[in-house]
Structure 1
Amino acid sequence: MSYSGYWQFWALLAAVFAALTAILAKVGVSDVNVNFATFLRTVVVVVALAFLLLYTGEFNSIGNISGKSLIFLTLSGLATGASWLCYFRALQIGKASQVAPVDKLSVVFVAIIAALFLGENLSAPAWVGVGMIAGGAILISVS
């Protein structure tokens, strides 16, 4: 049975790795400048992905990417960098068990932005779930 087509499988793996990221980063940034820690993390990601692309033969020329895709991927990269810098700073100052749930408010922001700008429709129960995520993140972060 192949899991390559199931978005739920990959999303769950992303969540597991995000959890590991929080715990490993919390320990890693305890006595390191968070900006340098973010740089080091980025270098590791770039090198690992370069090896993956070379191994799978998926390395492509930037010239094969449309201008629109290049602009939005660049903006996404900048947003990722800003997110990582803020996340590492928060982990250095706060508890991982509180920082990570607040960071997951991104789920709430994605639902709202996707509805407003991408025209995605969530059902009423899905909006209740979004509200529960927001409430849960707030409850965990203040306790």
Structure 2
Amino acid sequence: MNWFHWALLAAVFAGITAVLAKAGTSQVEPNLATAIRTCVVLVLAWGIVLATGMPAWRSLSGNAILFLALSGLATGASWLCYFQALSLGPASSVAPVDKLSVVFAIALAAIFLGEKLAWQHWVGGLLIVGGAAIIAWK
């Protein structure tokens, strides 16, 4: 499988996640719900790492560890905000607005990683923004 197949699977699982998370937050405080989800992800991720053979820790650079740690902090902040939003609004509206992360990722990749943006990035990004605005506008 190539990157597109994995990304498509990620989107499918993200969609399932939104519905399950909304169902799970109906009687649970959002921060507790995030903590429970995070523990499950932690066990799953380490289980996969251990099952597939522990990679060499020595190959990790300081920069890699720093950026992964910062990514983890950003993920935690995102999940806390996402679960709070799900506790207050419908999953069918929260999830599309959350997907504005795609637009932010495109912009940040261009700014910080020097990725070149094609016209498809601009048009697609604008369509995502428009779609999220239409869904959120009531």
- TM-score, structure 2 length as denominator? 0.95
Write the distance in 2 (CA, Å) between the matches of 1:138 and 1:16: 22
- Confirm or deny that 1:81 pairs with 2:70: no
Q: Which runs of 5+ in 1 are unaligned?
A: none
How many residues are aligned here?
138
Match of 2:54, SS state, is: coil
Give the ranges of 4+ consecutive aligned residues of structure 1 lying more than 4 Å apart after TM superposition: none
- How far off its partner does 1:53 sit? 1.4
Identity rate of aligned residues, in percent? 57
Pairing of 1:1-143 with structure 2 (within 5 A): 3=1, 6-61=2-57, 63-143=58-138
- How far off its partner does 1:114 sit? 1.2
Verify the 8 A CA contact 2:106 2:121 in the aligned structure 1: no
Q: What letter is aligned with 2:45? A: L
Deviates more, 1:78-87 or 1:51-60: 51-60
Q: Which runs of 5+ in 2 are unaligned?
A: none
Match of 1:11, SS state, is: helix
Aligned-residue RMSD, C-alpha:
1.2
Q: In the superposition, relative to structure 1, how do residues 60 and 88 fare at CA in structure 2: closer, same or farther (>3 Å)?
A: farther
Match of 1:31, SS state, is: coil
- TM-score, structure 1 length as denominator? 0.92
